[in-house]
């Protein structure tokens, strides 16, 4: 029996899952708890998702899919590579800043999953990393970035820095303004932290 992948309850269940996982942690987020939060019966979840893993994957796909689409859109509005990179960072920080629950779920909780689930999550992330790669290649072409840089390493540097910055912010209970750091992160990535007295 196949499952319905849309309808108001589909979204309601995914949002409930985000809330429950953010509040109780991944391992304390039983189907019954999510169902209760969504205001549906346990069995109803199985009308929309094949199983619990499918729900979590769908959650990530829906939320990150939207996240990536929005980011991509904004980046395309910018013309200079520097603006594009700044926008990538800003959008990342902004979108997680306005949704603390989602930030907790993506930065902390969804990482404690088994290999199979993480593989699926990796597939979704691929699209994000492609976005990063595009900017890097663009930067090289426009002679803004050094022609000899290793794209893979630069990608890991950009993503690793953004991700670590975000995770630290989440682990510090979102105590400071994450978006305010975007410009600094951007400048450090592009210029490094070497002192170059003029």
Partner DNA sequence: GATGAATGAGCGTTCATTCAT
Partner DNA sequence: TATGAATGAACGCTCATTCAT
Which spans of this chain sit near DNA (rule: CB under 7 A)? 4, 7, 9, 27-28, 30-32, 39-47, 51-53
- Looking at residue 127, what DSSP letter applies? H
Give the shortest CB-116-to-a copy of itself separation in angstroms: 9
Give the shortest CB-55-to-a copy of itself separation in angstroms: 17
The answer to whether the beta carbons of residues 78 and 91 sit under 8 Å apart is: no
Where on the chain is the footprint of a copy of itself (CB under 8 A)?
Answer: 1, 25-27, 32, 108, 111-115, 118, 122, 136, 139, 143-147, 149-150, 152-154, 156-157, 159-165, 168, 171, 181, 184-185, 188-197
Give the shortest CB-156-to-a copy of itself separation in angstroms: 4
Give the shortest CB-11-to-a copy of itself separation in angstroms: 25
In the block, residue with structure tokens 């979204």: 11
44 contact choice in DNA, a copy of itself, none (CB below 5 to 8 Å, kind-dependent): DNA
Which H/E stretch holds residue 70? helix 52-77
Tell which residue, 125, 98, 119, 110, has the closest CA to residue 21: 110
- Report residue 193: phi and psi, to 5°: -110, 15
Closest to a copy of itself by CB, 12 or 144: 144
175 contact choice in DNA, a copy of itself, none (CB below 5 to 8 Å, kind-dependent): none
Give the shortest CB-102-to-a copy of itself separation in angstroms: 17
115 contact choice in a copy of itself, DNA, none (CB below 5 to 8 Å, kind-dependent): a copy of itself
Q: How far is CA 137 from CA 21, 77, 106, 151, 162, in A?
A: 37, 17, 27, 8, 19
- The Cα 71–Cα 94 span in angstroms is 10
Closest to a copy of itself by CB, 18 or 181: 181
The answer to whether the beta carbons of residues 40 and 12 sit under 8 Å apart is: yes
Closest to DNA by CB, 45 or 75: 45
In the block, residue with structure tokens 């109803």: 44
Closest to a copy of itself by CB, 8 or 195: 195
- The Cα 115–Cα 158 span in angstroms is 24
């Amino acid at each position: 029996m196949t499952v319905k992948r849309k309808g108001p309850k589909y979204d309601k269940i995914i949002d409930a899952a985000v809330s429950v996982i953010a509040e109780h942690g991944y391992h304390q987020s039983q189907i019954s708890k999510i169902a209760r939060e969504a205001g549906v019966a346990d069995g109803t979840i199985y009308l929309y998702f094949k199983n619990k893993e499918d729900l979590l994957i769908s959650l990530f796909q829906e939320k990150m899919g939207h996240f990536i689409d929005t980011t991509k859109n904004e980046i395309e509005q910018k013309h200079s590579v520097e603006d594009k990179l700044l926008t990538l960072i800003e959008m990342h920080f902004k979108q997680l800043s306005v949704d603390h629950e989602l930030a907790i779920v993506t930065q902390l909780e969804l990482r404690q999953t088994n290999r199979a689930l993480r593989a699926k999550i990796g597939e979704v992330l691929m699209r994000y990393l492609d976005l990063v790669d595009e900017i890097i290649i663009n930067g090289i072409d426009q002679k803004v970035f050094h022609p000899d840089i290793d794209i893979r390493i630069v990608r890991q540097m950009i993503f690793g820095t953004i991700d670590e910055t975000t995770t630290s912010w989440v682990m510090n209970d979102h105590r400071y303004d994450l978006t305010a750091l975007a410009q600094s992160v951007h400048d450090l990535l592009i210029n490094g932290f070497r002192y170059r007295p003029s």
